[in-house]
Amino acid sequence: MANILNGKAVAQAVRARVAAEAAALVRTTGVTPGLAVVLVGDDPASAVYVRNKDRACREAGMASTTHHLPADTSESALLDLLARLNADRTVHGILVQLPLPKHIREARVLEAIDPAKDVDGFHPENVGLLTIGRPRFVPATPAGIVALLEAAAVDPAGRRAVVIGRSNIVGKPAALLLLHRHATVTVCHSRTADLPAVVREADIVVAAIGKPQAVKGDWIKPGAVVIDVGINRLPDGRLVGDVEFEAASRVAGAITPVPGGVGPMTIAMLLDNTLAAARRAAAVAAGVKDTP
Ligand code: GUN
């Protein structure tokens, strides 16, 4: 049986560390880390995510403000709000929850966030910094994946990593982080020929497809580490990942459960990014040169 990678416990430890460091920042600089979360529309899953981010922020001793705008908000009204948040010195991190309504151009919005406040790491400047190996803000879900691997003492160096999914939020940055940790990385997607054969080669599998139980247990190489990013609700109400958990856990060396694996890590890493943004803002205010 596989070692179950307990994301809930690792996330709790990260959150406790972030809370202690946030308290120290307040004590030493008077700066309270502040996150602004922007939610447009009424997607129920997004509303749950946003509520959880807001609560986690407060629990870590940070300030959090949620701006909930109606679904018919114009792109220019959203850009106006972002300009105000960019200029607000009490706001260190800005997160626009995705997906946005169809009439709003996502790229235009993400580019309007001050890169120094882009705690999601989605601004092209931060994507570029990550790509060249000088990360400023690492997107929270991929950051959570590598933190989980570290907590389980899994060193990707020299291993074959297969990332299934090529999204800007998870697949691409996860592949880069594994590459920077010296894994041999393959990125698979909907057009990949013979996906099972590629996955069978993997020492580390990252499944970020968004399809329930699409990765079958008999695709997993014995002893492989399986990171399941999927959160899918079945018609019977059960939450499952992108991997067939029962079958995969019989062959894997380690595997993340759903729920309780990658999910809790995402929020923890967002808090970590918000703390880092506040730290940098406090250092800039104190006259220290900005890095990077
Ligand atoms: N939607 C799904 N995942 C994310 C995320 O990590 N950040 C934001 N802003 N929206 C998301």
Please give the distance, rounded to the nearest whole angstrom, from the Cα atom of residue 217 to the centre of ligand 1: 28
Length of the chain: 292
- Helical spans, DSSP H, in the chain: 7-29, 44-59, 75-87, 106-111, 124-131, 140-151, 171-180, 195-199, 245-251, 262-285
The answer, yes or no, to whether residue 271 has pLDDT greater than 80, is: yes
What was the pLDDT predicted at 259?
A: 97
Residue 35 phi, psi (nearest 5): -115, 135
pLDDT at 289: 72
Q: Which atom of ligand 1 is nearest to the CA of 169?
A: 6
Q: What is the mean pLDDT of residues 5-14?
A: 98
Percent of the chain with pLDDT over 70: 99
Find out whether the beta carbon of 262 lies less than 6 Å from any atom of ligand 1.
no
Is 12 an annotated catalytic residue? no
Each residue's pLDDT tens digit, 242-254: 999 999 999 999 9
Query: Which residues 6+ apart lie within 8 Å of 7 measured at CB?
Result: 144, 148, 256, 257, 260, 261, 262, 263, 264, 265
3 state DSSP class of 213: coil
In this prediction, residues 218-236 reach a mean pLDDT of 98
Cβ(273) to ligand 1 under 6 A? no
Q: Looking at residue 292, what is its pLDDT?
A: 62
Q: Does the structure show a pLDDT above 70 at 68?
A: yes
Residue 90 binned pLDDT confidence (cut-offs 50, 70, 90): very high
187 alpha carbon – ligand 1 mean position (Å): 20
Active-site residue among 118, 120, 228, 242?
Answer: 120
pLDDT at 291 over 70: no
Active site residue 102: no
Q: pLDDT tens across 135-162, in order? A: 999 999 999 999 999 999 999 999 999 9
pLDDT tens track for 186-214 = 999 999 999 999 999 999 999 999 999 99
Helix (H, G, I), strand (E, B) or coil at 13: helix
Q: Are 176 and 161 within 8 A, CB to CB? A: no
Cα of 22 vs centre of ligand 1, distance in Å, is 23
- Tell me the average pLDDT of the chain: 97
Instruction: Mark whether 53 is an active-site residue.
Output: yes
Q: What mean pLDDT comes out for the span 91-97?
A: 98
pTM, two decimal places: 0.97
pLDDT digits over 100-130, tens only?
999 999 999 999 999 999 999 999 999 999 9
d(CA 241, CA 227): 10
**How far is it, in rounded angstroms, from Cα 224 to Cα 83?**
46
CA distance 74 to 71: 9
| Residue 36 Cβ contacting ligand 1 at under 6 Å | no
Q: Average pLDDT for residues 59-75, to the nearest whole number?
A: 98
288 pLDDT more than 90 = no
CB 178 within 8 Å of CB 152: no
Distance 77 CA to ligand 1 centre (A): 21
Give me the catalytic one of 8, 12, 43, 53. Answer: 53
What pairs with residue 207 in β-bridges?
164, 228
* Ligand 1 within 6 A of CB of 120: yes
User: How many A from CA of 28 to the centre of ligand 1?
Assistant: 32
Q: Percentage of residues in the chain with pLDDT exceeding 90?
A: 98
Confidence at residue 153, expressed as pLDDT on a 0 to 100 scale: 98
